[in-house]
């Protein structure tokens, strides 16, 4: 129920935590009372106890060459199947580990390859009731070799999309449903939460942003001449929270949307849901704030 300039109950920080600057994916596992944090710069997943405070030591760290992690972006603990699903932003892959994995361990499954349409992976989630894996991807500029392999329809599409797979798919496997196109509104996709067949996604849509550094984060890009422009203003209609269901397919819009000037959205990052109380929460990197919305209707599938 915190609101306004409320002080945090606990702060986890310090050298022993092994947390880095870019913890883009943070997930709380209520069943195990554990916090999972993706560390993009370290190519690692850090796991802490739910009640951690201060300079706490992780209880597990997934890191090393056998993990095949390069820049893990978002994580999703799947308690029903005892698995941890990780989206790797640079490799364009989804990697699945045992939920209690620790150390330099190989993933159980890896989704990767041109058929998957996973070019720049963001949010990941699992619908354990329908046995589905949902991933969000954004198109990136293609090399000549990639253009020869990737479907022409996707090459022409400058938008991101929601890709729906069977949960145990592995390798270079095509999604059997894809939500993508101008009517979907998805350009720069973000993180997702999955609940009873519903897909909640924050869509920052910062499609013109390009990192000033190379993919390894070690040196400026050759073409970098200064800070990238910000194409979005506060409350842009392009930045929104959308809710789809995982039976949708094609160029379809969300059932429910939160956007517009009153929202003050600028650069959405994380998303969390509270189905019991009908609330949706998002973090915004420009405001350095968390927004909460009371939207109980969003948790009921809407029939078109």
Structural domains in the chain, CATH included, are 24-271 (2.130.10)
pLDDT (mean) for 105-120 = 93
pLDDT, one tens digit per residue, over 177-199 is: 999 887 888 877 789 999 999 99
Query: Mean pLDDT throughout 274-289?
Result: 90
Q: How far apart are CA 247 and CA 60, in angstroms?
A: 36
Band the pLDDT of 167: cuts 50, 70, 90: very high
Give the H or E element holding residue 154.
helix 152-155
Nearest-angstrom CA–CA distance, 121 and 71: 10
pLDDT at 208 over 50: no
What's the pTM? 0.83
| Among the listed residues 49, 65, 57, the one whose alpha carbon sits nearest the alpha carbon of residue 18 | 57
């Amino acid at each position: 129920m915190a609101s306004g300039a409320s002080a945090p109950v606990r702060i986890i920080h310090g050298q022993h935590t092994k947390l880095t600057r870019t913890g883009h994916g943070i997930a709380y596992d209520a069943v195990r009372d554990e916090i999972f944090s993706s560390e993009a710069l370290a190519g690692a997943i850090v796991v802490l106890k739910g009640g951690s405070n201060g300079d706490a030591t992780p209880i597990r760290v997934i890191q090393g060459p056998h993990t095949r992690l390069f820049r893990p972006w978002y994580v999703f603990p799947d308690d029903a199947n005892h698995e941890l699903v990780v989206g790797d932003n640079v490799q364009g892959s989804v990697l699945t580990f045992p939920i209690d994995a620790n150390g330099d361990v190989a993933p159980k499954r890896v989704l990767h390859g041109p058929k998957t349409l996973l070019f720049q992976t963001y949010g990941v989630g699992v619908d354990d009731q329908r046995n589905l894996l949902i991933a969000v991807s954004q198109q990136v500029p293609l090399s000549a070799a990639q253009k020869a392999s990737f479907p022409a329809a996707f090459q022409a599409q400058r938008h991101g999309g929601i890709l729906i797979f069977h949960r145990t798919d592995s390798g270079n496997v095509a999604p059997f449903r894809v939500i993508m196109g101008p009517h979907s509104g998805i350009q720069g996709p973000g993180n997702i939460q999955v609940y009873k067949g519903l897909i909640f996604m924050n869509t920052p849509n910062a499609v013109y942003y390009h990192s000033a550094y190379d993919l390894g984060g070690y040196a400026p890009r050759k073409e970098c001449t200064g800070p990238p422009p910000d194409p979005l203003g506060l409350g842009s209609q392009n930045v929104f929270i959308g809710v789809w269901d995982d039976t949708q397919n094609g160029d379809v819009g969300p059932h429910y949307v939160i956007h517009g000037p009153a929202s003050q959205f600028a650069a959405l990052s994380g998303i969390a849901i509270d189905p019991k109380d009908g609330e949706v929460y998002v973090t915004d990197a420009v405001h350095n704030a968390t927004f909460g919305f009371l939207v109980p209707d969003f948790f009921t599938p809407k029939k078109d």
